[in-house]
Amino acid sequence: MAAGDRAALDKVSRLHDEGSKVIAALQTEVQRLTEENVHLVGHTNLKQKIQMHAKVKDENQKQKVRRCPEVHKRLVVCILISLR
């Protein structure tokens, strides 16, 4: 094997080793962030997430229904004032 070929092979080998280290570090970081995300979200169970989402959605809808008459009254008053 020629000296140039050997040097190129060594360089590729070093780059491969460095790349492998970077990949391992990134995989560790991904795992850490995934665990942190699970902790922050609060639910690791998909069914619990879906149920919680449905509950929040229902609560939001109830708030909209409760506020609808108030908003309607304000809108009517604004329209009446603007028609004067």
Tokens of 44: 């690791």
Specify whether the backbone of 42 is left (phi greater than 0), alpha (psi in -120 to 50) or beta: left
Distance separating alpha carbons of residues 31 and 71, to the nearest angstrom = 47
Instruction: Report yes or no on whether pTM surpasses 0.85.
Output: no
C-alpha Rg value of the chain to the nearest Å: 30
Report the 10 Å Cβ neighbour count for 29.
10
Local confidence pLDDT in tens for the 84 residues of the chain: 677 788 888 888 888 888 888 888 888 889 888 888 777 776 667 777 778 778 888 887 777 666 666 666 666 677 777 776
